[in-house]
């Protein structure tokens, strides 16, 4: 900025600066100061938008207002038996949740038999105090309306909102029967659902007595902003074990390839294989290309890593195990590529690998080549 000649009043100086600034297309503090000279004028049109939007028609509200509250407000009339529920369950739910709602293959188990008659009596599920127990839906849920509402709005997984009202009653009845909350000949309806609520094992297991609901709630954990000599001893209690260093893939390829904090190479062997798979690529991006983010990205974006890890068996075999098994097979790339695209079961156990049909042959080949090498 330039210096004002002596004798200029502040006002004139500002005007002069404005002229200079507008000439070179700049703004800044001076402009704000100028604005203060000319008082702002409020828009007279602070309202007037009352006619925007329209009244919802009753049929429209009925079509979308599907929520069911704990007091059963919103619950449509209907009924369904455990027996009918089992039939629908086996056809539409069991593939993901298992015949008895106990599968953890795709989702956390819904029912596992961790609920006791004493829990049904007390309304507190005792097994929630046992850290070794898997926490199932029926152990946790305190409101039967939640089951009804969720199945109705979001299930089945791949075809939400395709169940009839009576289907939903049947499925809730079947699910509850899996932990003996209702008998196997039970018929659930809007008339008797409140009685089921009174038997829900964890119905008394929720508390709203905490400070995290309201913005001015009282915190339950308190620290102080000590600045010097705050700890008498500092002991590391936990770190990532060395065998798990590479469980999230090579960290070198997850950091910027320049700058002061580059990534640690956590997988030398894996790094070599990736490089082979991408060696024909233009060497334009040094480490990114090396990273063969190609296979890793494919594995990630296609959900492969949900079931497979590099070194460990998860739902499916470890990638290293697949590589080893087909190391000597001449048509390994073609075979693996086809298996990836078509899916299968039986080679590595009972778990089914879904077809990865969304992958083009080229992409499947890319993964297969990486595996084969």
Dist CA 342 CA 344 (whole Å): 7
- Per CB under 8 A, which of residues 42..101 are in contact with another protein? 49-50, 52-56, 60-61, 64-67, 69-71, 73
Q: Quick one: 14 or 319, whose CB is closer to another protein?
A: 319
- Per CB under 8 A, which of residues 291..320 are in contact with another protein? 291, 293, 297, 300, 302-303, 305-307, 309, 314-315
Residue where the block lists tokens 């699910």? 175
For another protein (CB under 8 A), the number of binding residues is: 121
Q: Quick one: 189 or 254, whose CB is closer to another protein?
A: 254
Contact call for residues 131 and 145 (beta carbons, < 8 A): no
Q: Which of 137, 170, 177, 337 binds another protein (CB under 8 A)?
A: 137
Residues composing the chain: 373
Distance of CA 169 to the CA centre of its chain: 28
Q: Which of 217, 343, 349, 355 binds another protein (CB under 8 A)?
A: 217
- Per CB under 8 A, which of residues 1..40 are in contact with another protein? none
Please, is 132 exposed, middle or buried when counting C-beta atoms within 10 Å of its C-beta (0-12, 13-18, 19+)? exposed
Torsion sign, CA atoms 107, 111, 113, 114: positive
Closest CA to 192 of 73, 74, 77: 77
CB neighbours (10 Å) of residue 141? Answer: 20
Under the binding rule (CB under 8 A), the answer on residue 230 touching another protein is yes
- End-to-end CA separation in angstroms for the chain: 65
Under the binding rule (CB under 8 A), the answer on residue 142 touching another protein is yes
Q: Quick one: 9 or 132, whose CB is closer to another protein?
A: 132
Under the binding rule (CB under 8 A), the answer on residue 134 touching another protein is no
Q: For the CB of residue 354, give the shortest distance to another protein in the complex, in Å.
A: 10
Q: For the CB of residue 344, give the shortest distance to another protein in the complex, in Å.
A: 18
Helix (H) or strand (E) holding 333: helix 332-342
Under the binding rule (CB under 8 A), the answer on residue 330 touching another protein is no
Under the binding rule (CB under 8 A), the answer on residue 195 touching another protein is no
Q: Quick one: 31 or 313, whose CB is closer to another protein?
A: 313
């Amino acid at each position: 900025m330039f210096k004002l000649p002596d004798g200029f009043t502040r006002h004139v100086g500002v005007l002069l600066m404005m002229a200079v600034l507008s000439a070179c297309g700049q703004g800044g503090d001076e402009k704000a100061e100028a604005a203060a000279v000319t008082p702002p004028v409020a828009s007279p049109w602070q309202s007037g938008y009352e006619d925007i939007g329209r009244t919802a028609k009753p049929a429209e509200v009925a079509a979308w207002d599907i929520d069911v509250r704990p007091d059963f407000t919103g619950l449509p009339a209907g009924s369904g038996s455990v027996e009918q529920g089992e039939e629908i369950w086996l056809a539409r739910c069991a593939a993901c949740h298992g015949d008895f709602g106990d599968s953890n293959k795709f989702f956390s188990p819904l029912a596992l038999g961790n609920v006791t008659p004493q829990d049904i009596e007390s309304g507190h599920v005792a097994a929630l105090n046992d850290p070794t127990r898997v926490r199932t839906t029926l152990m946790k849920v305190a409101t039967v309306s939640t089951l009804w509402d969720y199945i109705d709005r979001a299930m089945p997984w791949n075809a939400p909102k395709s169940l009839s009202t009576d289907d939903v009653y049947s499925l809730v009845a079947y699910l509850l029967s899996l932990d003996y909350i209702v008998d196997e000949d039970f018929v659930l309806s809007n008339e008797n659902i409140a009685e089921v609520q009174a038997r829900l094992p964890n119905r008394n297991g929720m508390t709203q007595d905490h400070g995290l609901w309201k913005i001015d709630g009282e915190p339950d954990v308190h620290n102080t902003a000590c600045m010097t000599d705050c700890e008498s001893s500092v002991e590391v209690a936990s770190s990532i074990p060395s065998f798990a260093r590479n469980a999230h893939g090579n960290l070198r390829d997850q950091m910027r390839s320049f700058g002061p904090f580059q990534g640690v190479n956590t997988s030398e062997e894996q790094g070599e294989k990736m490089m082979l798979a991408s060696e024909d690529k233009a060497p334009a991006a040094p480490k990114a290309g090396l990273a063969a983010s190609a296979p890793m990205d494919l594995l990630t974006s296609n959900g492969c890593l949900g079931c497979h890890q590099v070194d460990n068996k998860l739902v499916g075999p470890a990638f290293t195990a697949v590589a080893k098994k087909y190391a000597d097979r001449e048509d390994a790339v073609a075979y693996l590529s086809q298996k990836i695209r078509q899916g299968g079961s039986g080679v590595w156990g009972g778990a089914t690998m879904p077809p990865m049909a969304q992958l083009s042959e080229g992409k499947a080949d890319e993964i297969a080549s990486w595996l084969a090498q």
